[in-house]
Amino acid sequence: MRYYILKNVLRQMRFVLLLILIATTGCKKKNDDNTGQSKGLKVYYSDFFPVGASVGSSNLTGDESILLIKEFNSITAENAMKPGPIHPSENNYYWTDADKIVDFAVANGMKIRGHTLCWHSQTAAWMFLDATGGTVTKDVLLQRLKDHIKTVVSRYKGKVYAWDVVNEAIDDDNSKIYRESSWYNICGEEYIAKAFQWAHEADPDALLFYNDYNTESASKRDKIYNMLKKLLDAGIPVHGIGLQGHWSIYWPSETDILSSISKFSSLGIKVQITELDVSVYSSSANFSVRTPGDDTFTSDMEQKQINFYKAIFRDFRTNKNVINGVTFWNISDRHSWLDNFPVANRKNYPLLFDKDLKPKKAYWEVVNF
């Protein structure tokens, strides 16, 4: 009898011990070091993909630079490599800011994404004009594009590992395919294939991306897919698609994001999230729906953003075989381009670090897996 009691007690003790063990080890989230100190996104994601941020040269000193070095292992120039800033007039390239960013990345062992070689926006007017102020011919414009791409890509050859070759060439309007930009209006769709060919000639080792936003809208997704398929079938060197990832706590759904990842990767190309931020406003929300001056980060926004970030990073990890980079657009909520877009002077809170550069709750959900 006594033996049975003892046996039972021992069995229960074993059970309790097991519970304690699970509570202290098994259930303990892998990346929670209990110190409240982050190890760095790049460390938590070292088995998955590089994690980057977009920067300007002013972010390369002071506390932001310390955060950059600790958290990220990839960098994109937020503006400095775009056609307008880097090639302000025909015979003049402005390298200073882009060089600073490249030097910073090289000095700190970070990868560099090049953004962007051909875009309808932030391109200086001279590109499309002849000496008399009229529109240039297709031949002249293609020659200028070729010169631009060869010059910029060659300068950073071996340092920039991936280029957004063409940015935002597809229209949002369902009734149109290509965006009717000056590039398209003067050259037709041909400029897209040419841009990839010239970038490839200038640096055969660079990964070449087509980059766009709203890639989770079903109709835009299909249009981009068709364009990429056509380019790939024609043997054009396209190696990946950049989903910009300018998302919000309301859009898109996880299903939409997963559909894009799976549809684009079915073409045999890589997928990167190139400009990730999660706005706390819906796209239709404007300042007038809130009390002017009231742009606080509410607990409802915070919770929705936590859920959103947690879900998408889980999906990115699950798809690590096709996702080979995730880049945030800006570093922290101290400054985001969304503070002024699409509504001027409306503060947004789209990133994983707060304005004091401290990890937000969403950060911990992203790294504790």
Any idea which residues carry the catalytic annotation? 168, 275
List the one residue from 64, 71, 216, 275 that touches ligand XIL (CB under 6 A): 275
SS3 234: coil
Binders in 308-337 for ligand XIL, by CB under 6 A: 337
**Least distance to ligand XIL, CB of residue 230, Å:** 22
Closer of 94 and 337 to ligand XIL (Cβ): 337
- d(Cα 242, Cα 9) in Å, to the nearest integer? 60
**Least distance to ligand XIL, CB of residue 76, Å:** 9
Report CA-CA distances (Å) from 253 to 218, 307, 309, 356: 12, 12, 12, 30
Question: Which residues are within 8 A (CB) of 288 and not within 5 positions of it... i.e. 6 or more apart?
Answer: none
Q: Does 343 bind ligand XIL (CB under 6 A)?
A: no
Closer of 74 and 244 to ligand XIL (Cβ): 244
List the one residue from 65, 79, 217, 319 that touches ligand XIL (CB under 6 A): 79
**Least distance to ligand XIL, CB of residue 343, Å:** 14
Which single residue brings its beta carbon nearest to ligand XIL? 337
DSSP one-letter string for 109-121 = T-EEEEEEEEESS
What is the 8-class DSSP label of residue 72? -
Site track 83-112 with ligand XIL (rule: CB under 6 A), x = hit? ------------------------------
- Do the Cβ atoms of 84 and 122 come closer than 8 Å? yes
Buried b (16+ CB within 10 A) or exposed e, 121-138: eebbebbbbeeeeeebee
Closer of 120 and 317 to ligand XIL (Cβ): 120
- d(Cα 70, Cα 66) in Å, to the nearest integer? 6
**Least distance to ligand XIL, CB of residue 336, Å:** 8
Interface residue list for ligand XIL (CB under 6 A): 78-79, 167, 244, 275, 337
